[in-house]
Amino acid sequence: MSTHSASWESKLLDWAYQGLQHGLSRECPQADGVLLAQAYDYCRAITRKNSRTFYLASGFLSPSKRRAMRALYAFCRASDDIVDHPSPSPQAVIDRPIIGQCIAA
């Protein structure tokens, strides 16, 4: 494992622990509603583009569970892509703005 992967993994863990320390609720009420809706739309688009079966099956879930599962799928897909297609800077891949890239496509 390279030192680059350790740094992005550490950053993800730091974010997770920050959320726990600040007592964020499961619904993240402090989040901007428009930005959150865009993020869910982005996750939906990733899921629809990359996994038709999962996308269709997740449609049977309640709206809140559907959004959560598609967000989880998008996270796993992005993580897998980082590993499968290494970049000279994995940190740059994580830090790049992604909202709108898939929605506009």
Domain count, the chain: 1
Indicate whether 1 belongs to any domain: no
* Within a domain: 8: no
* 61 inside domain: yes
Q: Dig out the tokens for 70 from the structure.
A: 């598609």
> Residue 54: what pLDDT?
94
Domain that holds residue 91: 31-104
- 3-state SS record for 29-91: CCCCHHHHHHHHHHHHHHHHHHCHHHHHHHCCCCHHHHHHHHHHHHHHHHHHHHHHCCCCCHH
pLDDT of residue 98: 53
- pTM for this model (two decimals): 0.59
32 CB-side CA count, 13 A: 4
* Structure tokens that stand for 59 in this block: 């449609």
Measured at the CA of 32, the angle between CA 27 and CA 36, to 5 degrees, comes to 65
| pLDDT at residue 31, as a whole number | 57
In a domain, 15, yes or no: no
Does residue 63 fall inside a structural domain?
yes
pLDDT of the residue at 3: 45
